[in-house]
Amino acid sequence: MSVSNITVFRPSVLTLIGIPGLETVQCWIGIPFCVMYLIAMIGNSLLLLIIRSERSLHEPMYIFVGMLGVTDTLLGMSIVPKILAIFWFHVPETCFDSCLLQMGLIHTFQGIESGILLAMALDRYVAICYPLRHAAIFTHHLVTQIAAVVTLRTALLVAPSLVLLKCRFHFYHTTIISHCYCEHMTIVKLAAENARVNEFYGLFGAFIVAGFDLTFITLSYAQIFFTVFRLPQKEACLKAFNTCIAHMCVFLQFYLLAFFSFFTHRFGAHVPPYVHMLFSTLMGRWNDAKGHDRH
């Protein structure tokens, strides 16, 4: 395999430049990100405190909401501090291993959140379509098992991508990352060697998680709407519909932004870089900022 003469061998430090094309205004862009981050931390903390202290909320739906709040908080902690360090304090450097760690945490928490959204959809499906059996099916033991499976599934899918990046690539075209934080494709694009295996595994992991979850979420809500619209009483129909509409908004927001970022990385050569970076970054930030309003 031929490698360009202008390469860096196993760089120990990478440089994150932030949002390409908006470098001069990044200090101002950091303000709304910081505000959203603080709102998310406070909102999710209050949400978890309420769920923990109120025994009537110790139900699967609220436990899943609490799990989503914890995941959002950890995701924000993995992204925002480095963004603000770049925007406000001009500290773009990061160790290569730290970059891999951040990438692993971000993709892990995003995968866990996708799994929790699927669990919430299944919970609503059983609650509306089989209300008399809901308590027997969605026990606290099952909720614990779901949390363990979702976490393990994501960890097993993310870990190989870290190993492939660490072990397969030795030469890099540059050490400069045109992004605010480290993610899989931003690092893969730096490599001066054949990256097809990494790209294929990235596609495989994304479709295993998002494709599987989104398919069953769609099927669950299709069945929910079919059941709801068959209810004879309009009041019962509206009540059932209202329990799902907030969840649906979260699902749509999460997957639309995720797929926009995913496909832009691979096929969006004509999308301005700052548009992609803003949407990609907002995906993590909006996931956090919405946390205080779920309940």
pLDDT digit string, tens, across residues 30-85? 998 899 889 989 999 999 999 999 988 899 989 999 999 999 899 989 999 999 99
User: 272 in helix, strand or coil?
Assistant: coil
Question: Any bridge partners for residue 9, and if so which?
Answer: 171
Cβ–Cβ < 8 Å for 165, 182: no
Mean pLDDT of all residues in 199-208: 87
Q: Does the residue 272 lie in any domain?
A: no
Q: How many domains does the chain have?
A: 1
DSSP 92-106: -EEEHHHHHHHHHHH
Q: Does the residue 250 lie in any domain?
A: no
Report whether pLDDT(295) > 60. no
Q: Does the residue 3 lie in any domain?
A: no
Q: Does the residue 39 lie in any domain?
A: yes
Q: Which residues contact 45 (CB under 8 A, 6 or more apart)?
A: 73
Q: Does the residue 35 lie in any domain?
A: yes
CA distances from 243 to 68, 85, 120, 256 (A): 17, 40, 11, 21
- Note the pTM of the prediction, 2 decimals: 0.86
pLDDT in tens, 162-175: 999 999 998 999 99
Q: CATH no. for residue 36?
A: 1.20.1070.10
Tell me the one-letter amino acid at 175.
Answer: T
Q: Identify which of 83, 80, 74 has the alpha carbon closest to the alpha carbon of residue 116.
A: 74
What is the pLDDT of the chain when averaged over all its residues?
84
Q: Does the residue 219 lie in any domain?
A: no
Q: Does the residue 55 lie in any domain?
A: yes
Report whether pLDDT(158) > 90. yes
User: 25 in helix, strand or coil?
Assistant: helix
